[in-house]
């Protein structure tokens, strides 16, 4: 699907990157723990989060993420949006909760960033 | 003869400066990109430098990041003025964190930073003395 499809499915408002909505997306991740995102994400993906502080955008910058989805209708402040604009990030906000947003997107075919489901022997 | 330095930069990092935390890593990423470093290596340096910078802000009394780019590898050294880490093997464990509420409210404190750095760097060394400080050296091979 494309970011435009995500906007439709989530009934989202586009805060930034109106011109990049045709970008294709294949995977997403959902977390409020930035170190967790930094630990398992290694591709240009979508981050769904309830956090709206500057570190969400910084984390996106470090990982070259494509799109940020804020849940529960959250909107970051101007300063944060400006730094997101500098990186050409698409930023959208949806009224849905994190769980519902993930469910809706999964149903439409978006998948999680691949991580092995097997346990290591020391776990 | 000492190996040729392609680039060198020093970034002082203030303790508890949550607003500008991450700006050194953003600059490091931009500079490396300008040098033509891309892809997997660039992403690994970016992730590790962000984690190590945030640790300086959240856990240390202040310190600095030293970046040197050699033809063969990128070297990133973090050094701080304390308080030091009492139990390094505990600190290196995934999930172990002493982050305060402010850091947690910003999305940190998962206890993933040090293991992340170790995983992303090709060479990782950490030395810490309580009451003195912590030094971390990371190297990332270029091609
Ligand atoms: N520079 C430092 N000075 C003092 N203590 C440190 C320093 N870096 C890390 N620590 C200690 O090691 C612990 C683990 O660090 P690590 O980066 O793995 O996790 P975290 O910073 O607590 O959480 P996260 O990185 O997931 O946001 C910290 O909680 C802290 O107690
Ligand atoms: Mg950390």
Residue B105 falls within a domain, yes or no? yes
Q: Which of A33, A34, A35 to mutate to test the interface with B (most CBs of B within 10 A)?
A: A35
Distance CA B71, CA A56 (A): 32
Give the closest of B22, B112, B115 to A58, CB-based. Answer: B22
Total of domains in chain B: 1
Q: Is B97 in the pocket of ligand 1 (CB under 6 A)?
A: yes
> In whole angstroms, what is the distance from residue B53 CA to residue B11 CA?
10
Q: Is the CB of B112 under 6 A from ligand 1?
A: yes
- Closest Cα to atom 29 of ligand 1: B97
State whether the beta carbon of B67 lies less than 6 angstroms from ligand 1.
no
pTM above 0.90, yes or no: yes
Write down the pLDDT at residue A5.
Answer: 98
Rounded-to-integer distance, Cα B128 and Cα B114, Å: 13
CA atoms of B118 and B124, how far apart (whole Å)? 6
Residue B21 Cα to ligand 1 middle (Å): 15
Q: Are A58 and B25 in contact (CB < 8 Å)?
A: yes
What residues in B contact A62, CB-CB < 8 Å?
25-26, 29, 43, 46-47, 50
Which atom in ligand 1 lies closest to the alpha carbon of residue B111?
A: 19
Q: Can you give the pLDDT at residue A42? A: 79
Task: Return the pLDDT at A116.
Answer: 86
**Residue B118, domain member (yes or no):** yes
Res. B1: pLDDT tops 80: no
Torsion of CA B15, B103, B45, A86, to 10 degrees: -100
For residue B89, being part of any structural domain is answered with: yes
For residue B117, what is the domain's CATH number?
A: 3.30.565.10
Residue B104 lies in a domain: yes
- If you measure from the C-alpha of residue B98 to the centroid of ligand 1, how many angstroms do you get, rounded to a whole number? 7
In a domain, B2, yes or no: no
pLDDT digits (tens, 9 = 90+) for B89-108: 999 999 999 999 999 999 99
pLDDT per residue as tens, chain A (123 positions): 999 999 999 999 999 999 999 999 999 999 999 988 998 887 889 999 999 999 999 999 999 999 999 999 999 999 999 999 999 999 999 999 999 999 999 999 999 988 889 998 777
Cα separation, A115 vs A58, in Å, equals 23
Map out the domains of chain A with their CATH numbers.
3-112 (3.40.1390.20)
- Of chain A, the percentage scoring pLDDT greater than 90 comes to 85
Q: Beta strands B73-80 and B133-141: pairing type?
A: antiparallel
Tell me if B15 is assigned to some domain: yes
Q: Which domain holds residue B137?
A: 7-141
User: From CA B28, how far away is CA B41, in angstroms rounded?
Assistant: 13
Chain B neighbors of A32, CB-CB under 8 A: 107
- Rounded distance between C-alpha atoms, residue A59 and residue B46, angstroms: 9
DSSP 8-state symbol, B131 = T
Instruction: Give CA–CA dist B124/B82, Å, rounded.
Output: 20
């Amino acid at each position: 699907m494309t970011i435009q499809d995500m906007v439709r499915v989530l009934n989202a408002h586009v805060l930034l990157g109106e011109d990049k909505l045709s970008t294709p997306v294949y995977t997403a991740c959902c977390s409020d723990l930035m170190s967790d995102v930094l630990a398992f994400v290694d591709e240009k993906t979508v981050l769904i989060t309830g956090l709206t502080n500057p570190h969400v955008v910084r984390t996106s910058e470090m990982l070259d993420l494509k799109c940020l989805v804020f849940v529960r209708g959250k909107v970051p402040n101007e300063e944060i949006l400006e730094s997101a604009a500098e990186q050409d990030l698409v930023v959208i906000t949806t009224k849905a909760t994190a769980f519902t947003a993930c469910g809706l997107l999964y149903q439409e075919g978006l998948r999680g960033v691949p991580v092995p489901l097997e346990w290591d022997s020391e776990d | 003869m000492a190996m040729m330095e392609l680039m060198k930069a020093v970034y002082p990092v203030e303790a508890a400066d949550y607003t500008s935390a991450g700006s050194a890593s953003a600059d490091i990423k931009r500079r490396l990109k300008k040098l033509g470093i891309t892809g997997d290596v660039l992403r690994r340096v970016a992730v590790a430098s962000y984690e190590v910078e945030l640790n300086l802000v959240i856990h240390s009394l202040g310190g600095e990041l030293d970046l040197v780019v050699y033809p063969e590898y990128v070297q990133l050294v973090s050094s701080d003025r304390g308080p030091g880490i009492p139990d390094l093997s505990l600190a290196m464990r995934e999930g172990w964190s002493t982050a305060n509420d402010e850091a947690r409210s910003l999305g940190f404190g998962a206890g993933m930073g040090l293991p992340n750095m170790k995983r992303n760097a090709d060479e990782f060394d950490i030395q810490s003395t309580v009451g003195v400080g912590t030094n971390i050296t990371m190297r990332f091979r270029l091609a």
